[in-house]
Chains A and B, each alone.
Chain A
Amino acid sequence: ETGVTQSPTHLIKTRGQQVTLRCSSQSGHNTVSWYQQALGQGPQFIFQYYREEENGRGNFPPRFSGLQFPNYSSELNVNALELDDSALYLCASSLDPQGARGYTFGSGTRLTVV
C-alpha cells in the first residue's frame, strides 16, 4: 500500500464537462506531480507543484490546471473534457523538490469521457 491516495478510483464524464481529481500525498512530501497514462502508453507528465506553487509543466493545454494545499493534498482540474482525455490519471509525490530521486505513485483515477 502506497502513502499516496487518489479519489475517485473511476469516473465517467461527458464530453465538454469539467472534472476534479484529488490526491493526498505522503506526509512530508512537498512535491506532487500529475501524470496522464493512456492505454498501452507510459505516463505523460502534466505538471508539478512544490510548496503550493507550480514549478514544472508538460505539453498539456491550459484547460488542465491544478492546486496543491498545505496539508499535502492536491487537485487536478480538467475543463472542457475531450474524448482523448480518457486515461488513467496518476498522482505522484516525492521528498525531493526536483523529483530527481523518483516518485511514489498513487493508485490512480480511471477517467472515461463519453
Chain B
Amino acid sequence: QKEVEQNSGPLSVPEGAIASLNCTYSDRGSQSFFWYRQYSGKSPELIMSIYSNGDKEDGRFTAQLNKASQYVSLLIRDSQPSDSATYLCAAYTGRRALTFGSGTRLQVQP
C-alpha cells in the first residue's frame, strides 16, 4: 500500500464547475498536508496547506482534512482552463520529508 494515494485521473470538468480532488494516506502520524499544482514540464507549486481537521479556504480553493478517515481533499470552485494541471497531495510524517502521491491530472474543458 502506498503511503499517499491519489486517483491518477484524468479528472475532466467543464469550465465553471467544481473540481474535487481526493487523497488518502496510511500513516496516522502524518502531521500536515499539502496540495501542490504541477504544470507539464514544470516544478510543483504549493497552493494549499492544512494542519487540522476541517476546511481551509483560500480564494477558489478549499482544502478539507479528516484525520479519522485519513482523507484529504481539494475543491476548486469556478474551474478555469488554466487550472488544468496535475495536482499532487503530500503528507508530512515527521521524518523530515514530504511523502507525495502520484498526482491527479485535472482537465478543465472550455
Interface residues on B, range: 20 to 34
Interface residues on A, range: 20 to 34
Complex partner residue of A33 from B31, B97, B101, CB under 8 angstroms: B97
Q: Is the CB of B43 within 8 A of A108?
A: yes
Q: Does B95 contact A (CB under 8 A)?
A: yes
Q: Is the CB of A100 within 8 A of B44?
A: no
The distance from the CB of B34 to the nearest CB of chain A, in whole angstroms, is 5
Residue of B4, B98, B100 with highest tally of chain A CB at under 10 A:
B98
Q: Does B17 contact A (CB under 8 A)?
A: no
Cα distance A55–B98 when bound, in Å? 14
Stretch at the interface among A11-19, A39-47, A70-78: A39-47
Residues of A close to B32: CB separation below 8 A: 100-102
Q: Is the CB of B97 within 8 A of A100?
A: no
Cα distance A102–B96 when bound, in Å? 10
Cα distance A44–B44 when bound, in Å? 13
Q: Jot down 10 A-B pairs with beta carbons below 8 A, ordered by A.
A: A33-B97, A33-B98, A41-B103, A43-B100, A44-B100, A45-B99, A98-B94, A100-B31, A100-B94, A102-B32
